[in-house]
Amino acid sequence: MLIKVGFEITYYAATPTPMVTMLSIHPSRYGDIVGTESITTDPNVPITYYRDSFGNVCGRLVAPAGGITFHGNTLVRDSGQPDLIVPSAQQLPIDQLPDECLLYLMASRYCETDKLTDVAWSLFGHTDPGWNRVQTIIGFVHKHVKFGYQHAHAMKSALDVYEQGNGVCRDYAHLALTFCRCMGIPARYCTGYMGDIGIIPDGSVMDFSGWFEVYLSGRWYTCDARHNKARIGRILMGTGRDAADVALTTSFGRMDLVKFFVISDEIKQEAA
């Protein structure tokens, strides 16, 4: 299938303000981009790109006084298949994990493994290691947390989510991946596009989505504690330890968000 993704994001700035963006599609999906990925600004300012320590594509620019609007428009080819379900996927002993996975077992800005380890073992210590343990964690978080945009808060951590029992997609991901890390399963945060493809639209405003991945049987598997079901049409933009590593925009100075519009829609092949 073909998926049209894009955005229009506007910020106001009183003075020229340096920025770092993470608005590009992840390099792992480069082969699926039809044509070229388009990211422009109004007014037009130069953007230089680099790869961060996680392999994400980041842009550097200086937003002019008065503000800036980012426009994105890309066509992506997707398999149309839902997230993989592999009950046989095994949890590897920590001493057999690749070196690069160890980072995703440790505490990070929003994922306090030191504060939730006892809770995790009391809830999931009886489960079979591997796929079953991950799914049990996802099921618990899905039921424990109540979704609501009014519950969003930039400072909310996994411990806060557990204690408050509410949040948005990033909060579901933070709590679930923290529990996974506590149980010895490498887990990393993901952000990207995920439209209402293959489901009945719920009428909510389109947004970027947060989910997570776990490392089992030598590869990363997609997990989604908010929806607790396999979904179609995820387009990855970035991965990291938690949401702090994959902020869509970071400004080095005061900026106000004025407009935020995102699309992620399946289109007919003949219309492409």
Are 73 and 185 within one domain?
A: no
Residues 112 and 177 in one domain: yes
Domain shared by 116 and 178, yes or no: yes
Which pLDDT score is estimated for 200?
Answer: 82
| 108 and 52 assigned to the same domain | no
Residue 179: give the domain boundaries. Answer: 94-246
* Claim to verify: residue 262 and residue 145 sit in the same structural domain: no
Domain-located, residue 89: no
* pLDDT over threshold 80, residue 204: no
Mean pLDDT in residue range 13-35: 97
* DSSP state string for 105-153: GS-BTTB-HHHHHHHHHHHHTTSPTTHHHHHHHHHHHHHHPEE-GGG--
User: In the structure encoding, which two tokens stand for residue 28, read together?
Assistant: 């792992």
Instruction: Tell me the C-alpha distance between 136 and 180, whole Å.
Output: 10
Which pLDDT band holds residue 270 (cuts at 50, 70, 90)? low
The answer on 146 and 264 residing in a single domain is no
Q: Is residue 88 part of a domain?
A: no
Confidence (pLDDT) at 201:
76
pTM to 2 decimals?
0.95
Q: Is the pLDDT of residue 205 over 70?
A: no
Query: Do 42 and 156 have their domain in common?
Result: no
**pLDDT tens by residue, 69-103:** 999 999 999 999 999 999 999 999 999 999 999 99
**One domain, residues 73 and 126:** no
**Are residues 153 and 260 part of one domain?**
no
User: Tens of pLDDT along 119-135?
Assistant: 999 999 999 999 999 99
Residues with Cβ within 8 Å of residue 194, at least 6 apart in sequence: 209, 211, 231, 233, 234, 235, 264
Q: Are 212 and 187 in contact (CB under 8 A)?
A: yes
Residue 72, domain CATH: 2.60.40.2250
pLDDT tens, 178-192?
999 999 999 999 999
pLDDT grade, residue 207 (50/70/90)?
Answer: confident
Q: Assess whether 162 and 51 both reside in one domain.
A: no
The mean predicted confidence, pLDDT, of the chain is 95
**Residue 271, pLDDT score:** 47
Query: What number of helices (H) and strands (E) belong to the chain?
Result: 4, 14
The number of folded domains in the chain is 2
Residue 264 pLDDT > 50: yes
Confidence of residue 203 (pLDDT cuts 50, 70, 90): low
pLDDT in tens, 45-74: 999 999 999 999 999 999 999 999 999 999
Cα gap 117→183, rounded to integer Å:
8
